[in-house]
Amino acid sequence: MSTSIFKRVNSGWLGTAYATTTAVFIGVQSFLIAVLQGPWVSFHSHGVLLWVFLTAIVVATSLAASAGLVHGAVLIYRRVCAAEAKAADEIYHDLLSARETQRLHRARMHEVTSTLAGVRSASELLCNSETLDPERRVAMLTMMGSELRRLERLVRAHRGGADTMPVDNGVVDVDSVIHNLALAHEASGTTVVHMPSNALAAGSSDAVAEIVNVLLDNAAKHGSGSVDVAVRHQRGERGPMVVIQVSDDGPGVAPHLRERIFEWGTRGPDSAGQGIGLNVARKLAERMGGSLRLAVGERTTFVVTLPSAVIEGPEVETEKEGTSDDVVAA
C-alpha cells in the first residue's frame, strides 16, 4: 500500500517539478534569444558570455526547485509510511485481542459442554435405572446440584466480563471434587478408581474441578474405559504440595505430540476433541501456583501439583517438583 501511494505522490511532485523547470528554462531561453537578437545587443561585446551566465542561473534555480519538490515528496512518503505503520500496528493488536476473546469463549463453552454432558448422563441414569440403590440416587442428585451450581458460577463470571476463571485462594477438598466428577463420568460409562486422601489444596474449587474434569474427559476419550486417580502429598521446592495423578490404559500420546500437547489446538489425528482442554487446565494450575505435566511411563498419566492448604501436618514425601516420572498406583 505504501509503495503505491508513494508512486502516486512521487509522480505528482516530480511531474510538477519537471513541468516547472521546463517552463522556466524555456521562458528564460526565449527571453535571452530576444535580448541577444535585439537592437541593443551590439552595445554588449560579450553576448555569448551573457547567454552562458544567464543559462547557468536558470539551470541552478531549476535544480534547486526540483530538489525542494523531491524533498517534499520524500517527507510526505515518510509521513504516509508512519501513518500506515501505526494503523497496521493497531489492526494487529485488535486481531490479537479478538483472538484471545474468541479463545476465552471457546474455553468456557468447552467446560460448559463437558459439565452439561455429565449432568445429562446422571439424569438419564436416574430416570432409566430401576436397580439404582437409594444411596446411589442421593449421591447422583447431590452431584448434579453441585455441578449445576459450578456451571452457574462459571456462566456468571463469563457474563460479568471476567477474562479468566477466578482462582481465589481458598481451601479445596480435593476428595470431594474428585468424588463428584467421578460420579458424573461413571454415569457416562467410565469407571473411575479413586481412594480418599484427605488432601486439602489451596486455590479455587471450581478451577480444580475444571482441571480434573478435563483430565477425566481426556482419559475417557482415549482410554479403555477405566481411569485411575491417585492423590498424595509431596514436599516440593516451594513447600507442601498436593499431587493429583490421572492415568488411563489408552494408546498413549504420540511422541511427536508430547512436547506440544498443552498448546492450544493440539490434538491427535484420530481425536474428536478441539485441543482446548489441556491448554486451559495447565493455565489454571499455573495461576494457582501449581503445574500440569505429562509423565513418562507406559501408561498415559497427567500429573497436577497444587499448593497444599496444610502448612504443617503428617509426614509427606520429599521430592523436587516436576522431576519424578513415577506413577503412583491407585
Nearest to 127 by CA among 146, 189, 119: 119
Among the three residues 68, 95, 122, which one is the final residue of a domain in this structure?
95
Alpha-carbon distance of 298 to 321, in angstroms, equals: 21
Alpha-carbon distance of 82 to 231, in angstroms, equals: 58
Assign 234 to helix, strand or coil: strand
Q: Per residue of the chain (330 residues), what is the pLDDT tens digit? A: 544 544 444 455 445 555 555 655 565 556 555 555 555 444 444 555 555 555 666 556 655 656 666 666 677 777 878 887 877 777 777 676 666 666 666 667 767 777 788 888 888 888 877 777 888 888 888 988 888 888 888 777 766 555 556 667 789 999 999 999 999 888 888 899 999 899 999 999 999 999 999 999 888 888 878 899 999 998 877 789 999 999 998 877 877 778 888 887 676 656 656 678 888 899 999 999 999 999 887 788 999 999 998 865 544 444 444 444 444 333
Among the three residues 95, 130, 155, which one is the final residue of a domain in this structure?
95
Residue 138 lies in a domain: no
Q: Are residues 171 and 91 in the same domain?
A: no
Nearest to 12 by CA among 85, 82, 81, 72: 72
Q: Are residues 181 and 64 in the same domain?
A: no
CATH number at residue 227: 3.30.565.10
Q: Which residue has the cell 498415559?
A: 300
pTM over 0.85: no
Burial of 2 from C-beta contacts in 10 A (0-12 / 13-18 / 19+)? middle
Residue 62 lies in a domain: yes
Total structural domains in the chain?
A: 2
Parent domain of 225: 164-318
Among the three residues 75, 95, 115, which one is the final residue of a domain in this structure?
95
Q: Are residues 81 and 202 in the same domain?
A: no
Element (H, E) at 318: strand 317-318
